[in-house]
Amino acid sequence: MVGLIDLNTVEEDCPLPLSPDSSTASSTFSSALSPRTNNHMDPSGSSSLCLELWHACAGPLISLPKKGSPVVYLPRGHLEHVGSDSNFPNPVLDLPPHISSLVVDVKLHADVVTDDVYAQVSLLPVIEQSEQKWSEGEAEVDLEDDDFNLYPKSSTPHMFCKTLTASDTSTHGGFSVPRRAAEDCFPPLDYTQQRPSQELIAKDLHGLEWRFRHIYRGQPRRHLLTTGWSAFVNKKKLVSGDAVLFLRASNGELRLGIRRAAQVKGFSAIPSACIRHLNQRALLDVPKAISEGRVFNVYYDPRGTSSEFVVPCRKFFKSLDCTLAPAMRFKMRVEADDGAERRCSGLITHLTDLDPVRWDDKESDRCSRISPWEIEPSGLVPSLSSTIMPGFKRSRLGIPPLQPDHPTSNGIGSSDSKESTRFQKVLQGQENTGFTSPYNRIRKLEHSCDIGNGSSYTVPINAEKSMGYFESFRVHEVLQDQETSANPSHSRAWVVNENDVNGGFNPPPTNQGFMFHASPPMSNAPLHSPFSVLTSPPAGKAFRSWKGSKHFRLEFRHSSSKEQSANKVSGSDSRSSSCRLFGISLGEGRTVASKLGS
Amino acid sequence: MVGLIDLNTVEEDCPLPLSPDSSTASSTFSSALSPRTNNHMDPSGSSSLCLELWHACAGPLISLPKKGSPVVYLPRGHLEHVGSDSNFPNPVLDLPPHISSLVVDVKLHADVVTDDVYAQVSLLPVIEQSEQKWSEGEAEVDLEDDDFNLYPKSSTPHMFCKTLTASDTSTHGGFSVPRRAAEDCFPPLDYTQQRPSQELIAKDLHGLEWRFRHIYRGQPRRHLLTTGWSAFVNKKKLVSGDAVLFLRASNGELRLGIRRAAQVKGFSAIPSACIRHLNQRALLDVPKAISEGRVFNVYYDPRGTSSEFVVPCRKFFKSLDCTLAPAMRFKMRVEADDGAERRCSGLITHLTDLDPVRWDDKESDRCSRISPWEIEPSGLVPSLSSTIMPGFKRSRLGIPPLQPDHPTSNGIGSSDSKESTRFQKVLQGQENTGFTSPYNRIRKLEHSCDIGNGSSYTVPINAEKSMGYFESFRVHEVLQDQETSANPSHSRAWVVNENDVNGGFNPPPTNQGFMFHASPPMSNAPLHSPFSVLTSPPAGKAFRSWKGSKHFRLEFRHSSSKEQSANKVSGSDSRSSSCRLFGISLGEGRTVASKLGS
DNA sequence: TTGTCTCCCATTGGGAGACAA
DNA sequence: TTGTCTCCCAATGGGAGACAA
């Protein structure tokens, strides 16, 4: 049984008492050990208080989609959120890399056993027309800024959050309340008394009441919670490093939440076990739901911030406009130790999947992988692409992956600039394969960066064997069964792998209608969502014909200045290995387009 | 991480440390709270001791298939083992009701958190030929008796099992060891001393050592475990009612296991949460594995005895030979309170899904549903069918569901006997629909039994809404979209529902080649495995053409004395309701054969 | 202002025999 | 023979100010 806050209804009772078995992750597993609670919310306005508490527990970074808002759902990001596992079948292998969806419902929950907060987001896969509209015409659909960030931060009430010290969690004595916090959140004490004290009653996310003796004593005087405190610590299994959270509502009621210290595996916060389990089961329904055009659920862990797999449409497509490149500076919202929101800046160092960024505050063990839509380029360093190719600034155009023997007419292949020479320094010692396109140059750069200065940054942080997550993998470089029906030298199709995306994947210079398509990596190596999937509008067409059958057809249209043609590539899905860097690969499918630049 | 005992290899280490995530049910969920153990087994013969301990914990009723033995796998029984759940997709809907398989591996495990023992059975779906062989020619494949019951009971070592009393689990004092148990299992004390004592070291299933002070004291003297005992009780979260188990191996080492009191829901022992979860995930792989002819795993909970979903081939097919009917007496192995094996006898009272049996010891709250292959008819009461139809004794022939307007030549439809008149007494008050076939008579009987004498037995024990398990259901009696390509009056096909099976489903009297096919019930009402699925040999052909596509074709061949013909019935799967009693229904498929006897 | 320490003393609970079912 | 009780006393841990960072 989980505490449930329904954002969409104002019913007095929780209308959906989940069947005991459906919440296996949370309660069934420990129901014998934990007391059952009835989670009837107080109808008199305190349900909105719960909402405040939920957001307080979720932290400042949470951005939840609004009911009715358009989003992009990333199945492989979802899979990674769940964690990969040899036993666990990969249900999204045959799905397109991203799925435009409509948020039809958002419910806030909290696990009864662990108090983990999570959101149940119900998504309806959108049909072709509206999808097309969203992605193509940004002007048409001017999404409001508050499609996400549903909870108004300005209204944050009297609240404090304190990370527990060793003394707070020790068996001797209670909880030392910061002075300002106590004065702000707790009812005032009668300071005329010798040792002023009162009983505080605070409700947790499930509506469970906790009683504490609040006393002002000691020399010098301080606010303490004594009786009742250790029971709370024990029941919630709090340890020093976890944080508690008090919140006083407008009606004076006190609410109490917890934020456990992030479970960090290899610098990357992982979602809690109960949420992983919910998503495991949810994920299994996704393929069927999508094929049937039916609503499906995903569970979003606001504390495991590393995997956004539901991204607001606008944010997602906007991030396509922005070209990322090494030496580019950026800013990003992060959560500070005290739970507050900060902005941190950093530098894109590599174009690899591993440690692509360096943060300005070096000692931080912040996650070292970022999503394009999470950051803002800080604009100080000019974009590499726009410098290299003056003709193609931002927007969705950028560095074209031209082949040396097929230079396009605008002479981009031979362009040079301070940026590119500056980065070419690190190329020394690498054999020159004769590739001179800027795209290829960036590739080389990436490798040389790894070798040149990356000694302290090249630890494969995501290759934690113990987790089974994010295993580093070597994608086969072999191209199997190359179909030559598409002329390689003219094909505009290639794999967008994590590096491409992170390094600012750049489509070929066309006037309109280019497309690119992300390649799923090898079937048993889940790709981190931020890097896995980007598809510009027309690709929707492609995956739609792919969807529902093992046979797929891709249409590549490139209306460049010279030629107006359409290449069609088709093939049938059969098991073979994936390819690396160049070539088109679909799921476990045969590689159908060939390597570029060879 | 789970303790693992590999029955098939004698490797010194546990060779397969499951990835942490694959054992979500057991360790990932509580890994933060429970200490990690390394489960390296002592190579010097103690791994066989672990095996003994595992079986001791599993209880006397467990029968595990041997590696290499042929079994029948019942997907819907598996699903029920897992528990149904609206959230949880039903992955076996499209599967045939039973699947002949080969046991390719059996591994014994124990959950680290709960100490639940379970077996991981790897099954390989068998291909047509061998399947045919097993089911058709029993003489050809003479299965050994020890295909199951792998563990030799005779070799049970010095062992005792004691259900914990309130004093044993209280915070004051330790564990009172039964005298004989202490003398049998523990090293002898030096009784010349004033208060003889020693330190006992016992290893649990995971190889973890527990130390206890064993002392002989008190007035009168008794054996006690003091120091260390309460730590054990706390760590294992034992409560009075649970049982502990000490076992002394031939090498003198002491082993220690636990058997928790059965979690009973509505008189039916349910599998532990961790095993349910393992099976949930395993089940999702089953359809794909079967379609690919690949090995899949199932997890068997020896303590949750109610759901056998892997049945030895011979046992399964043998049970087809036996006609069950009301008033029939039977015997069955059960586990007594002290954990020992008993034989209990009972009476088949009803032919319903609910409470079909009455046990001789009335006060027992034993499960009131049985599987045909779990029991032995005790032969005192003659089989109803053989009495009614002298021509068709045991074997697979029995009461033919004849239509009154199509009596067969041997005049069975008009037979009468003491048995049938005796049971017809209770028919008074029921309207006579004019059906006179014995089959129909049994149907009526069943209903009248419910009304006549069943007041204390008609509680639908399996309709526990709280569990979501075993929900009682009313199958629609409507036959939708009857296809008349098969002449109803000549078709030999009809639904075998739970009642038919329990009541001794009887195929029509043909010389050879009849078939019958179980109907899955309504999609959201999982059927209890014992009653769900029975298919005689030729049906394999049918479901194999059904398998893998939504379109199915059934061939009904009945070479009766009069006519030699083959009816083919085909249709396409579409969602519709199931039918009751008569007619063919496949999964959620359209009913293709019509009602018999109307 | 607040984290840690130490002291005080009430409560908890292991360990023993008494006693009875 | 063994389950429960009560007594004894050591261990635990809440609650206070001292003290220092």
Which range of A350-354, A485-489, B4-8, B485-489 scores highest in mean pLDDT? It is A350-354
Model confidence at A262, in pLDDT bands (50, 70, 90)? confident
Model confidence at B141, in pLDDT bands (50, 70, 90)? very low
Q: Protein footprint on strand D: which nucleotides are under 7 Å from a CB?
A: 1-7, 12-20
Cα–Cα dist A507/A515, whole Å: 7
Structure tokens at B579: 């039918």
State the best of A1, A19, A109 to mutate against chain B, taking most chain B CBs within 10 Å. A19
**Shortest CA gap A281–chain B (Å):** 7
- Please check the confidence at residue B242 and state whether its pLDDT lies above 90: yes
Cα–Cα dist A247/B375, whole Å: 62
Q: What is the mean pLDDT of residues B185-198?
A: 93
State the best of A29, A239, A283 to mutate against chain B, taking most chain B CBs within 10 Å. A29
From the CA atom positions of chain B, what is the Rg in Å?
Answer: 26
Nearest to B237 among A18, A33, A84 (CB): A33
Q: Specify the pLDDT at position B65.
A: 81
Structure tokens at A7: 């954002």
Q: Specify the pLDDT at position A189.
A: 94
Assess whether A165 (CB) lies less than 7 A from strand C: yes
Percentage above 70 pLDDT, chain B: 36
Q: What is the mean pLDDT of residues B88-101?
A: 75
Query: Is the pTM higher than 0.80?
Result: no
Quote the mean pLDDT of chain A.
55
Question: Which ipTM did the prediction report?
Answer: 0.54
Q: To 10 degrees, what angle do helices A313-321 and A128-136 make?
A: 50
Nearest to A86 among B19, B29, B31 (CB): B19
- Please check the confidence at residue A329 and state whether its pLDDT lies above 60: yes
B29 touches A: beta carbon within 8 Å: yes
Label residues A64-86 b or e (16+ Cβ within 10 Å = b): bbbbebbbbbbbbbbbbbbbbbe
Q: Look at residues A469, A562, A463, A554 and name the one whose alpha carbon lies nearest to residue A516.
A: A554
Structure tokens at B177: 């060891």
**More confident of the two residues B298 and A1:** B298
A262 touches B: beta carbon within 8 Å: no
Residue of chain A with shortest Cα separation from B90: A285
The length of chain B in residues reads: 598
- Note whether A277 contacts B24, CB cutoff 8 Å: yes
- Note whether A281 contacts B277, CB cutoff 8 Å: no
- Note whether B29 contacts A273, CB cutoff 8 Å: yes
Cα–Cα dist B241/B262, whole Å: 9
Model confidence at B539, in pLDDT bands (50, 70, 90)? very low
- Please give the DSSP secondary-structure letter assigned to residue B25: I
Residue nearest to nucleotide C3 (CA to C1'): A167
Residue of chain B with shortest Cα separation from A263: B32
**More confident of the two residues B67 and B45:** B67
Please say whether the beta carbons of B321 and B394 come within 8 A.
yes
Beta-sheet strands, E only, within A243-284:
243-248, 254-259, 264-265, 268-269
- Please give the DSSP secondary-structure letter assigned to residue B10: -
Label residues A421-438 b or e (16+ Cβ within 10 Å = b): eebeebbeeeeeeebebb
Lowest mean pLDDT among A131-145, A191-205, A395-409, A480-494: A480-494
Percentage above 90 pLDDT, chain B: 17
Nearest to B20 among A285, A288, A467 (CB): A467
Percentage above 90 pLDDT, chain A: 17
State the best of A1, A33, A85, A464 to mutate against chain B, taking most chain B CBs within 10 Å. A85
pLDDT tens digit sequence for A77-96:
788 777 655 555 666 677 88
- Please check the confidence at residue B224 and state whether its pLDDT lies above 90: yes
Nearest to A89 among B29, B86, B288 (CB): B288
- Please check the confidence at residue A493 and state whether its pLDDT lies above 60: no
Angle, CA B175 vertex, CA B169 and CA B181 arms, to 5°? 130
DSSP string, B514-530: ---EEPP--TTSPPPHH
Q: What is the mean pLDDT of residues A197-207?
A: 93
- Please check the confidence at residue A506 and state whether its pLDDT lies above 80: no
Tell me how far CA of residue B38 lies from CA of A128, A474, B14, B17, B233, in angstroms. 53, 31, 10, 10, 21
Residue A564, amino acid: Q
- Note whether A28 contacts B273, CB cutoff 8 Å: yes
Model confidence at B421, in pLDDT bands (50, 70, 90)? very low
Nearest to B29 among A29, A263, A285 (CB): A29
Q: Specify the pLDDT at position A428.
A: 28
Lowest mean pLDDT among B153-157, B337-341, B469-473: B469-473
A21 touches B: beta carbon within 8 Å: yes
* Phi, psi at B441, each rounded to 5°: -60, -40
Q: Look at residues B596, B346, B386, B367 and name the one whose alpha carbon lies nearest to residue B504.
A: B386
Quote the mean pLDDT of chain B.
55
- Please check the confidence at residue B460 and state whether its pLDDT lies above 80: no
Lowest mean pLDDT among A65-69, A554-558, B148-152: A554-558
* Phi, psi at B35, each rounded to 5°: -70, 145
A435 touches B: beta carbon within 8 Å: no
**More confident of the two residues A571 and A373:** A373
**More confident of the two residues A76 and A129:** A76
Model confidence at A343, in pLDDT bands (50, 70, 90)? low
Tell me how far CA of residue B493 lies from CA of A280, B508, B544, in angstroms. 40, 9, 17
- Please check the confidence at residue A136 and state whether its pLDDT lies above 80: no
pLDDT tens digit sequence for B14-24:
222 223 333 33
Q: Specify the pLDDT at position B353.
A: 52
Burial of B117 (0-12, 13-18, 19+ CB in 10 A): buried
Strand partners, A159: A247
Residue nearest to nucleotide D17 (CA to C1'): A218
Nearest to B21 among A18, A28, A468 (CB): A468
Residue B234 CA distance to nucleotide D10 C1' (Å): 20
**More confident of the two residues B174 and B85:** B174
pLDDT tens digit sequence for B541-560:
222 222 222 222 222 222 22
Q: Specify the pLDDT at position B338.
A: 55
How many Cβ contacts (< 8 angstroms) between chains A and B? 84
Tell me the three state secondary structure of residue B565: strand
Model confidence at A584, in pLDDT bands (50, 70, 90)? very low
Q: What is the mean pLDDT of residues A449-458?
A: 21
Q: Protein footprint on strand C: which nucleotides are under 7 Å from a CB?
A: 1-7, 12-20
Which chain A residues are closer than 8 Å to B266 by Cβ? Answer: none
Nucleotide nearest to A162 (CA to C1'): C2
Q: Specify the pLDDT at position B217.
A: 95
**More confident of the two residues B513 and B99:** B99
pLDDT tens digit sequence for A354-389:
556 666 665 555 555 566 666 666 654 443 333 333
- Please check the confidence at residue A461 and state whether its pLDDT lies above 60: no
Other CB atoms within 10 Å distance of the CB of residue A160: 21
Which range of A456-460, A474-478, B251-255 scores highest in mean pLDDT? It is B251-255
pLDDT tens digit sequence for B343-401:
666 666 665 555 566 666 655 555 555 665 666 666 544 433 333 333 322 222 222 33
A89 touches B: beta carbon within 8 Å: yes
**More confident of the two residues A550 and A58:** A58
**More confident of the two residues A489 and A183:** A183
Residue of chain B with shortest Cα separation from A29: B273
State the best of B18, B30, B80, B87 to mutate against chain A, taking most chain A CBs within 10 Å. B87
Q: Specify the pLDDT at position A304.
A: 63
Q: Specify the pLDDT at position B266.
A: 53
Model confidence at A278, in pLDDT bands (50, 70, 90)? confident
Chain centroid offset of residue A167 CA: 35
